Structure 1
């Protein structure tokens, strides 16, 4: 890895004409670094779909409305604000019944539920997994103090970048100068299935009976990663 860095530094020691290349016209070194931390989430979300297959459109709607009412009752029982429940993307599509036969249509409603008190997570999620007509479950977790956490990650990543750059500068017998460019990457939450409020959510249509409840009931630690690219001037 150090040999690769040294090669990059040696190539950057020679000024490059601005008209011939987008590279800086002064000697420089470019490094990529990242920082990562584990943390315990304090907010969660579950997305799922309510679907009803019935040749009678009115009956399908009744089924969906009944399930929505049951979900609302569950939230009230657990003290979860109804404002954190969102139903969206109501649509009718060709569907199949439980026997796999084509039906005239299938009514589908996407549901997004935020649980701000994770002590209630299991009490809320477990009943949802066994309700009929509910499928396509996906869960995600996050932290409410994300801005402060990301700021700390960025500081760690920049410190690592400078350490790497100083190694290269010493190897090239140069002095590390000022920062002339920084490009941060987005913080990636690799401990979740989806972003907490991601609009482009893609459903994995799995029935609860085919997926272990543990996959949805556990609150897993999050690993957050902050990459950064930095350009330093070499003196």
Structure 2
């Protein structure tokens, strides 16, 4: 007899990442470059103020030339990728709020995670196995059979059912995944949902 079992759990995260782009443009390339450096300096100062100087990673600044369009003159665009690793969520709002209010921030996404994945995986494996056994027992008794031993077991991967939260701030357009509420608060901490499944083949008599 083949059956399966699932289990899920809600977990409070203990770390997070903020990923976004800094993007500036100006007909004068020096002004565009100066402004993006100003934003980087502001982010560095924010990290120092929160005693997290190593939490900030900034990619190389890249230049693109924007053609004249809709009455706007030709301009130089400067952009770079930014990643902030927040390992102390007590400081979450103090970090995310200034970033959300900072000009020239684009394509921002927030990812929450936990360092307890192994413990969660083990806990859910036990629960999913119990559920599979219980389901198989009900089915077997319905047909006048009795379970004996499990002859094959497949352990499914631990799945995170929590979506990232994103926002395209330069144009004000929400870029959230469909299952998230439209009014999702980026300054809040998202509780994570994990799930695990097992497939089992039981012998009966």
Smaller-chain TM-score bracket: 0.7 to 0.9
Is 1:232 aligned to 2:202, yes or no?
A: yes
Contact residue 126 and residue 213 of structure 1 kept, 8 A: no
Note the C-alpha offset of 1:94: 5.4
Using the TM superposition, give the Cα deviation of residue 89 of structure 1 relative to its aligned residue in structure 2, in angstroms: 7.0
Structure 2 distance, partners of 1:61, 1:80, is 25
Are residue 178 (structure 1) and residue 149 (structure 2) matched? yes
Contact persistence 1:185–1:228 (CA under 8 A): yes
Aligned length: 197
Aligned residue for 1:217, secondary structure, equals coil
What does 1:1-235 correspond to in 2, within 5 Å? 29-82=1-54, 84-88=55-59, 91-93=62-64, 95=66, 101=72, 103-193=74-164, 205-207=168-170, 215-235=185-205
What TM-score do the two structures reach when normalised by structure 2? Answer: 0.81
Q: Report deviation, 1:118.
A: 0.7
> Cα offset for 1:90?
5.1
Paired with 2:71 and 2:96, the residues of 1 have a C-alpha distance of 27
Higher strand fraction: Structure 1 or Structure 2?
2
State the partner residue of 1:11. none
In structure 2, how many angstroms separate the alpha carbons of the residues matched to 1:165 and 1:100? Answer: 69
TM-score (structure 1 length as normaliser) = 0.71
Could you report, residue by residue, the CA deviation over 1:147-206 in whole angstroms, capped at 9, with x for unpaired residues?
A: 111210111111111111111222233332332333333323223417xxxxxxxx7534
RMSD: 2.9
Larger radius of gyration: 1
Q: In structure 1, how many angstroms separate the alpha carbons of the residues matched to 2:129 and 2:35?
A: 54
Question: Tell me, which stretches of 5 or more residues in structure 2 are unaligned?
Answer: 175-181
SS in 1 for 2:42: helix
- Partner-residue secondary structure (3-state), 2:52: coil
In structure 2, how many angstroms separate the alpha carbons of the residues matched to 1:218 and 1:35?
Answer: 26
CA distance in 1, matches of 2:148, 2:22: 59
Which runs of 5 or more structure 1 residues have no equivalent in the other structure?
1-28, 195-202
- Cα separation, partners in 2 of 1:90 and 1:231, compared to 1, 3 Å: farther
Q: Shift of residue 120 of structure 1?
A: 0.5
